[in-house]
A = this chain, B = another copy of it.
Amino acid sequence: MDSPPSGPVAPAAVPPRPPGETVVPRDLDVFFAANRARIERELFEFLRIPSVSARPEHSADTARAAEWVAGALRTVGLQAELVQTPGHPIVLGEWRGAGPDRPTLLIYGHYDVQPAEPLELWTSPAFEPTVRDGKVFARGAVDDKGQVFLHIKALEAHLRVRGRLPVNIIMLIEGEEEVGSTHLGDFVRANTDRLRCDAVIISDSSMFAPGIPSILSSLRGLTYLEITVDGPAHDLHSGMYGGGVINPATALAHMLTTLHDDAGHVAIPGFYDAVRPWSPDVLDRMRELPFQEEVFRAETGAPALGGEAGYTTLERIWTRPTCEINGLLSGYTGEGAKTVLPARAMAKVSCRLVPDQDPHTIERLIEEHLARVARPGVRVTVKHLHGGRPWRADLEGPIFDAARRALAAAFRRETVIMGEGGSIPVVADFVDALAVPVLLMGFGLPGENAHAPDEWMSVENFELGMRAVATLFDLV
Report A's interface with B, CB cutoff 8 A. 2-5, 220, 222, 224, 230-234, 236-247, 249-250, 252-254, 256-257, 259-260, 296, 300-308, 313, 316-317, 320-322, 324-333, 336-343, 345-348, 350, 352, 375-379, 385-386, 420-423
Contacts and interface: CB of A to CB of B under 8 A. Distances in A.
Interface centre among A230, A307, A386 (most CB of B within 10 A): A307
A422 B350 contact: no
Contact of A238 (B253, B326, B385): B326
A300 B421 contact: no
Contact of A249 (B246, B308, B328, B340): B328
B306 A421 contact: no
Contacts of A328: 249, 252-253, 328-331, 333, 345
Contact of A339 (B222, B239, B330): B222
B317 A340 contact: no
Contact of A231 (B257, B302, B329): B302
Contact of A325 (B5, B245, B330): B330
Contacts of A332: 326-327, 348
Nearest to A233: B301
B421 A239 contact: yes
Contacts of A317: 240-244
Give 8 closest A-B pairs by Cβ, nearest first.
Answer: A233-B301, A239-B422, A249-B325, A306-B377, A243-B316, A327-B331, A253-B256, A328-B330
Contacts of A253: 252-253, 256-257, 325, 328
A382 to B, nearest CB: 13
A353 to B, nearest CB: 10
A242 B338 contact: no
A268 B336 CA distance: 23
A325 B331 CA distance: 8
A348 B325 contact: no
B338 A327 contact: yes
A246 B307 contact: yes
A388 to B, nearest CB: 10
Nearest to A246: B306
A240 B345 CA distance: 27
Contacts of A306: 244-246, 375-377
Nearest to A293: B244
A333 B346 CA distance: 8
Given A256-B250, A257-B254, A333-B348, A326 B342 contact: yes
Contacts of A252: 253, 328
A422 B243 CA distance: 11
Contacts of A376: 303-304, 306
Given A5-B241, A339-B350, 17 more contacts: A222-B339, A242-B322, A243-B321, A244-B313, A244-B317, A246-B307, A249-B256, A249-B328, A250-B259, A256-B257, A303-B376, A304-B377, A306-B375, A327-B340, A329-B333, A336-B385, A337-B348
Contacts of A330: 325, 327-329
A4 B377 CA distance: 21
A256 B250 CA distance: 7
Given A240-B317, A324-B247, A421-B243, A300 B331 contact: no
B342 A325 contact: yes
Contacts of A257: 253-254, 256-257
A224 B378 contact: no
Nearest to A297: B245
Contacts of A321: 243
A261 to B, nearest CB: 11
Interface centre among A313, A321, A348 (most CB of B within 10 A): A348
Contacts of A348: 331-333, 337-338
A402 B308 CA distance: 67
A233 B300 contact: yes
Nearest to A300: B232
A115 B286 CA distance: 62
